[in-house]
């Protein structure tokens, strides 16, 4: 069975690698390490299809070490033992270079099995992962490795790779493949920086027109066959948290255009729950007391969105996102509850004042019996000065009025009431 185009066209030198110039460009650190021939333990971190396996393969070809490959999704402890068994054999007199793809799927015990041989230098590890290694890779391995981040490949670079792919396919089929204007650029854009998916899309387009008298790839065909993968979205992965974080920070930063962009990415991926949840959180956390009426408004929009579902849900959510982004902002409520919770978590509580307790009868041990609670509504302006905090927290202050019009009006009102009562 013939290998996929992405494997057939895989670069064999660093100069042929698409993208990653921040670590592989002339004079950059990873390139210098590779050219030195002294390969340390390394972890390649980044989305799929951006060159991690390609660079590892180039390193393996440029060393005299015995190359072993494992994939974290399928490898077992027995496979690790088989790799370790090759250390100091005639096949691996210069050591073993282990390329471990998807290391995040290795459990802690499996990773620890490799540790002894990584420490004594018998095995050089090049591991790759699509998830943040600082969360998924055993600390002892990370401390003995250098982490390099691979980034999505720029659209222009992917487009050049797509053009090269069609030229190779022409050689293989022995005929010209004509492209409608913009096809290569569209494939590069739609594959979202994933070169492997772009190669697969180019090969699919070629297969689809191969039986035609004239092989002509139209834009319509490219749209039908290209995976909609620009989103790079995994609800359990880093990209999910990056998008929802950017979504809320854009609303907090009062940028409706950016907020709508990230909302579109969430909705295009079908993640309506995350969009609704972050929208509600932002209304409470970032607008808050500057305009508290926004909370039921956003709740109504979220209810409408969940009721009608996608694609119509985009309309009430877009309205709400724009509203939250353009609303005045105040996080005074969040700051206040965080300060109060910090005291509670430190054990600063104390007994509830007797006047606030729910007990209406005192025991024999209480010298002065009675609750002595004064009902604020029985007093002018529905307020009087009495103790509410426990004795241990007297004088504690958690809430600070925000500088927005709404909270300042509250402050003016209560300042006047308290001043009048003290007069």
Calculate mean pLDDT across residues 262-285: 89
Note the pLDDT tens digit of each residue in 51-72: 888 888 888 777 777 788 888 8
Q: How confident is the model at residue 251 (pLDDT cuts 50, 70, 90)?
A: very high
The continuous run of DSSP H or E covering 15 comes out as: none
pLDDT exceeds cutoff 80 at 187: yes
pLDDT value of position 400: 93
Domain boundaries, the chain: 20-149, 155-225, 238-326, 332-356+369-422
Position 372 scores a pLDDT of 78
pLDDT band at 296 (very low <50, low <70, confident <90, very high): very high
Query: For the residues 238-254, what does the mean pLDDT come to?
Result: 86
Mean of the per-residue pLDDT values of the chain: 85
- Residue pLDDT, tens place only, 333-371: 999 999 999 999 988 888 888 878 876 666 555 556 666
Name the residue with higher pLDDT: 129 or 280.
280
CATH number belonging to the domain at 155-225, selected among 3.40.710, 3.40.50, 1.10.3470, 1.10.8: 1.10.8
DSSP 269-324: TT-HHHHHHHHHHHIIIIIGGGSTTHHHHHHHHHHHHHHH-TTTTHHHHHHHHHHH
pLDDT, mean of residues 236-256: 84
Which residue is listed with tokens 């054999």?
Answer: 89
Provide the pLDDT confidence category of residue 323 given band limits of 50, 70 and 90. very high
| pLDDT of 269 strictly over 70 | yes
For residue 303, name the pLDDT band (cuts at 50, 70, 90): very high
CB within 8 Å of 4: residues ≥ 6 apart: 199, 200, 203
**Which band of pLDDT confidence, cut at 50, 70 and 90, is reported for residue 90?**
confident
Structure tokens at 352: 């509830």
N- to C-terminal Cα distance for the chain? 93
pTM, to two decimals: 0.57
- Which CATH number applies to 238-326: 1.20.272.10, 1.25.40.10, 3.40.50.300, 2.60.40.420? 1.20.272.10
User: pLDDT at residue 231 above 60?
Assistant: no
Task: List, edge to edge, every strand of the sheet that includes 96-101.
Answer: 66-71, 96-101, 123-129, 42-45, 146-149
CA–CA distance, 31 with 24 (Å, rounded to integer): 5
The pLDDT score that the predictor gives to residue 98 is: 87
**What pLDDT is attached to residue 230?**
46
Q: Which CATH architecture has domain 20-149?
A: 3-Layer(aba) Sandwich (3.40)
Phi, psi of 135 (to 5 degrees): -100, -25
CATH of the structural domain 332-356+369-422, one choice from 1.10.4080.10, 1.10.3710.10, 3.40.50.10490, 3.40.1440.10: 1.10.3710.10
Residues 373-385, mean pLDDT to the nearest whole number: 87
Q: What is the largest CA-CA distance in the chain?
A: 105
């Amino acid at each position: 069975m013939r290998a996929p185009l992405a494997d057939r066209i895989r670069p064999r030198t660093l100069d042929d690698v698409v993208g990653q110039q921040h670590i592989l460009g002339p004079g950059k650190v990873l390139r210098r390490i590779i050219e030195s021939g002294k390969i340390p333990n390394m972890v390649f971190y980044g989305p799929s299809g951006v060159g991690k396996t390609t660079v590892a393969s180039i390193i393996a070809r440029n060393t005299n070490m015995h190359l072993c490959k494992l994939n974290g999704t399928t490898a077992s402890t027995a496979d690790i033992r088989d790799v370790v068994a090759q250390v100091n054999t005639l096949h691996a007199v210069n050591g073993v270079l282990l390329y471990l793809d998807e290391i995040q799927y290795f459990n802690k015990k499996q990773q620890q099995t490799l540790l002894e041989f990584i420490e004594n230098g018998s095995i050089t590890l090049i591991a790759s992962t699509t998830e943040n290694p600082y969360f998924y890779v055993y600390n002892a391995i990370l401390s003995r490795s250098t982490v390099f981040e691979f980034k999505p490949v720029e659209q222009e670079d992917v487009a050049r790779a797509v053009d090269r792919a069609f030229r190779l396919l022409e050689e293989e089929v022995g005929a010209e493949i004509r492209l409608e204007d913009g096809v290569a650029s569209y494939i590069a854009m739609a594959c979202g920086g994933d070169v492997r998916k772009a190669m697969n899309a180019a090969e699919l387009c070629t297969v689809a027109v191969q039986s035609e008298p004239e092989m002509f790839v139209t834009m319509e065909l490219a749209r039908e066959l290209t995976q909609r993968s620009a989103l790079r979205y995994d609800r359990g992965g880093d990209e999910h948290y990056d998008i929802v974080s950017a979504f809320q920070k854009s609303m907090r930063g009062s940028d409706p255009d950016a907020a709508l962009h990230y909302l579109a990415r969430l909705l295009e991926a079908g993640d309506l729950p995350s969009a609704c949840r972050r929208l509600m959180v932002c209304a409470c956390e970032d607008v808050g007391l500057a305009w508290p009426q926004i909370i039921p408004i956003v709740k109504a929009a979220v209810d409408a969105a969940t009721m009608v579902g996608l694609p119509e849900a985009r309309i009430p959510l877009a309205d709400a996102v724009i509203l939250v982004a353009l609303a005045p902002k105040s996080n005074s409520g969040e700051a206040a509850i965080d300060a109060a919770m910090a005291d509670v978590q430190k054990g600063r509580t104390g007994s509830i004042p007797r006047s606030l307790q729910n007990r209406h009868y005192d025991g024999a041990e209480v010298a002065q019996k009675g609750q002595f609670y004064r009902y604020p509504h029985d007093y002018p302006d529905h307020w009087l000065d009495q103790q509410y905090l426990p004795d241990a927290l007297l004088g504690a202050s958690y809430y600070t009025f925000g500088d927005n019009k709404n909270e300042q009006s509250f402050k003016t009102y209560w300042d006047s009431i308290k001043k009048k009562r003290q007069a």
